[in-house]
Amino acid sequence: MKQLLFLCTASVLIFTSCDHKQMTEGEKSSFNIDSVKTQIAASNIVFGESFGKGDSTGFAALYTSDGCMSPQGMPKLCGTASIAAFFNGGVQSGFKKIALTTEEVMGGQDGVIETGKYDVQGEGGVSYEKGKYIVMWKEENGKWKMHRDLWNSDAAPQPMPAK
């Protein structure tokens, strides 16, 4: 009976130490959520201020090479050229800045989700539109970039036209 108890205890210790070793190796991963949050915050500043500078190249570079955005009331836009064209339309509409407020960041090495609020501003900080967004971030060439970008306005939808 003592031998059986010893074998059971030894087995538990062996399995526990194996699990601990795997967790320790996993913790050595280069992923660090606080570092990603810092990169997202810096990217969001560039994103918001790029309209005032008219920098479509810098704006599009914030997205992965196969990144997509899903603007409200428009089809999904994918790739650098489509994202830059969307940006240019925003500049022509009078956008000067988009203020982003991150509310939550979660995820892991394969992808991170950010949720937050936005405020599209024109000349003198006048607000054109406020709403919320969800962005999936993905690491590309050592930098965290927007991979999927979806947002919608807080404004009530327009009524359907009368028949």
pLDDT per residue rounded down to tens, the chain (163 residues): 444 333 333 333 333 334 333 434 444 468 999 999 999 999 999 999 999 999 999 999 999 999 999 998 899 999 999 999 999 999 999 999 999 999 999 999 999 999 999 999 999 999 999 999 999 999 999 999 999 999 999 998 888 888 8
Sheet holding 143-153, edge to edge: 77-78, 63-70, 143-153, 127-140, 111-121, 97-108
HEC profile of the chain = CHHHHHHHHHHHHHHHHHHHHHHHHHHCCCCCHHHHHHHHHHHHHHHHHHHHHCCHHHHHCCEEEEEEEECCCCCCEECHHHHHHHHHHHHHCCCCEEEEEEEEEEEECCEEEEEEEEEEECHHHCEEEEEEEEEEEEEECCEEEEEEEEEEECCCCCCCCCC
Domain ranges (residues) in the chain: 33-153
Say if domain 33-153 classifies as CATH 3.10.180.10.
Answer: no
d(CA 125, CA 103): 22
